Amino acid sequence: MGVLSWLANGLSTIIGAVIETTVEVIGAIRDGLDSFRQRGGSVGSAMEKEVVTRKERLREVNDEILHLRNKNMSRGSLNDEDRRRWNGLREERDHLLVESAQAKEVKVAETILANEDNIEKVLIDRETTHKLQYNAFVDTLGKNCPKCKRSMKLQWRRDLKVPDPHDFFWGCTGWYISVGDHKACTWTEPLRSEDFALMTDVSAPEFSLTSDEFGIILSDPFTQGIIDTRLKDLQSDLGSQRKGVELVTCPEHGEHMVLRRKTNPTGLLDAYFLACPYWKPNNQGCAYFEKLKSAPQLAALLKSETGRGVL
């Protein structure tokens, strides 16, 4: 990574700084951002303008790739000119995705420095695993699958309401993408000991509770009803603005994921998922989607998009 020396994500959480103090990490981030700026890298408002331009171009590239894909499927093949165009567009998209990852690093660094008084080290144990879940669906910068090079994300056993630290692992996002009857990639690896040390903004009320306390509060049907209403409102607001969720992007297309709700969920933690804007059921479009399967994930989503979590 060009700006940060550790794994990080869009919530401005640093993962893996187990030895360093908060002061040392923030100092290193400030030095990294200064060095990037001195090398001519864009920061602040200049970087934001570049991000907008890059997003617009990425959408154009994805739309044209989808058009060629549909042409290939309907005709059974592409002519030489279309194949060259397809390959050129995919190369351009790869370049745009690299630039987007760099911009995410800059934004994370700037957010951490702007909120450094609230940044503290959190060591994950049985009482604080909800703080790891809080970060679990967000794009992780600097963690790529050694097998297929796709991004990797925090995962845990789905049958556990309150997982222990050893129940978490890194999973390749290729698991969510189907290629015929198979997953695109099934690579997993255990968390390293240093991955259980986070440096993050601890001002959220959810961080003042233990995992069990948080689970008890969120098991209340009335509380779940309030959260469901807020999520429905958020889904409506994002849809009317034609916006995706800022924290997470499709690893294939690089665009922000869309918040969706199942038609007949069995409960709050079965109701919502994030899908690529090119996603369609039955593998008619991009197959990438992620379930929002824990209350801490919903809290992080609401906090990032509305300014207030679930408490």
Task: Compute the distance between CA of residue 58 and CA of residue 134 in angstroms, rounded to an integer.
Answer: 29
Give me Rg for the CA atoms of the chain.
Answer: 20
> Which amino acid does the sequence have at 202?
V
Q: Who contacts 1 (Cβ-Cβ below 8 Å, separation ≥6)?
A: 105, 141, 142
For the residues of 233-292, what is the DSSP string, one character each?
HHHHHHHHTT--EEEEE-TTT-PEEEEEE-SS-SSGGGTEEEE-TTB-GGGTSB--EEE-
Residue 79's pLDDT is what?
A: 94
Gap between the terminal Cα atoms of the chain: 34
Residue 258's pLDDT is what?
A: 97
Neighbours of 18 (CB within 10 A): 16
pLDDT per residue as tens digits for the range 238-278:
999 999 999 999 998 999 999 999 999 999 999 999 999 99
Domain ranges of the chain: 205-306
- Low-confidence residues in the chain, pLDDT < 50: none
pLDDT per residue as tens digits for the range 92-122:
999 999 999 999 999 999 999 999 999 999 9
Residue 123's pLDDT is what?
A: 93
Task: Compute the distance between CA of residue 259 and CA of residue 302 in angstroms, rounded to an integer.
Answer: 11
Residue 1's pLDDT is what?
A: 55
CA dihedral 62, 65, 71, 73 (to 10 degrees): -90
Residue 283's pLDDT is what?
A: 63
Task: Compute the distance between CA of residue 171 and CA of residue 244 in angstroms, rounded to an integer.
Answer: 23
